[in-house]
Amino acid sequence: MLNVEPIKAYDDNYIWLISTNEGSIVVDPGESENIIKQIDKKQIDLKGILITHHHYDHTNGIKDLLDRKKCDVYGPINNIDSINKKVNGSDKFSIIGIDFDVIFVPGHTLDHIAFYAFNNGDPLLFCGDTLFAGGCGRVFEGTYQQMFDSVKKLSELPKNTKIYCGHEYTLSNLKFALEVDPDNAILKDEYKSIENILASGMPSLPTTINKELNINPFMRCNNLDVKKNIMKKFTCKDNEFEIFTTIRKWKDSY
């Protein structure tokens, strides 16, 4: 039995707590206070930590957690000394009975990775700040080509893959997506649905690859309506990468 639970951090971060009958792991602990509260309240047996990239809001809680209990920290090659299990694209490892594949997805940062796993045939993706519900991450250290390739790579995962990303950006992403793709009926319905979900105090995540293929403009750069709208508003070439880059730059200043 596998359970994935969100733990809120900062204003809009999600730390993911993954538990099986063999113990628990956390993904991207940007802070430690709320995790430690959960550990104490539920007597959680922390067996490991997964890190997608080096930004502080995904790593700041590592030290406090390790001070409380020593465990392995899986993450990309970077300057964070507490990562004692360095992994990169195509690597595989197992922890708490879960087999993880590592996917290299640079763009947001140069070291960014995602963790992909199966739970009784149901695929799960923990992708940090590369792919969001309705959006994708900003290009801080990498290139637009890297981010395009990374989003494209994730878009090719099985359509029933559940996506657990690092922030609650969904409603603002969908608001922008409606500017890009205003006639998308599925997107309009999703916006209303997410408004209701958030109003009830529930997280908007996880999303799925299938849903994102229908609503996420960064995964719809070959869609005729999206291309038409972007090329009408901006000067750009008629190819997926140019459309992607134009949308990303527009979103940066939106």
Rounded to the nearest integer, the mean pLDDT of the chain is 96
Handedness of CA 168, 225, 242, 235 (dihedral sign): negative
**Under 8 Å CB-to-CB from 252, ≥6 apart: which residues?**
138
Report the half-sphere exposure of 56 (CA within 13 A, side-chain side). Answer: 1
- pLDDT of 120 strictly over 80: no
Give CA 86 to chain center in angstroms.
Answer: 20
Percent of the chain with pLDDT over 90: 95
> For residue 190, what pLDDT is reported?
98
Instruction: pLDDT band for 114, please (50, 70, 90 cuts).
Output: very high
Asked whether residue 121 carries a pLDDT value surpassing 90, the answer given is no
pLDDT tens track for 146-157 = 999 999 999 999
Residue 74: both structure tokens together: 């899986």
Q: For 175-193, what is the mean pLDDT?
A: 98
| 74-96 confidence digits (pLDDT tens) | 999 998 999 999 999 999 999 99
Position 251 confidence tier, pLDDT thresholds 50, 70, 90: very high
Category of 134 on φ-ψ map: left (φ > 0), alpha (ψ -120 to 50) or beta: left
Q: Which two tokens stand for residue 207?
A: 């999303």
CA distance 249 to 194: 25
What confidence tier does 185 reach under pLDDT thresholds 50, 70, 90?
very high
Q: Which residues contact 229 (CB under 8 A, 6 or more apart)?
A: 180, 181, 182
**pLDDT for residue 208:** 98
- Can you tell me the mean pLDDT for 213-220? 98
CATH of domain 3-252: 3.60.15.10
pLDDT score of 27 more than 80:
yes
- Of 126, 26, 8, whose CA–CA distance to 73 is shortest? 26
Query: Which pair of tokens denotes residue 153?
Result: 């790579």
| Alpha carbons within 13 A on the beta-carbon side of 104 | 12
Contact 47, 41 (CB under 8 A): no
Whether 167 shows a pLDDT value over 90: the answer reads: yes
For residues 65 and 36, give the distance between their C-alpha atoms in angstroms, rounded to a whole number: 8
| Number of C-beta neighbours around residue 41 at 10 A | 8
- Examine the pLDDT at 122 and tell me if it is beyond 90: no
Phi, psi of 252, rounded to the nearest 5 degrees: -60, -30
**Cis status, amide bond into 106, omega within 30 of 0:** no
Kindly state the average pLDDT of the residues 29-42. Answer: 93
Tell me what percent of the residues of the chain surpass a pLDDT of 70. 100
* Domain edges within the chain: 3-252
Phi, psi of 233 (to 5 degrees): -90, -35
Calpha distance 97→141 (Å, rounded): 34
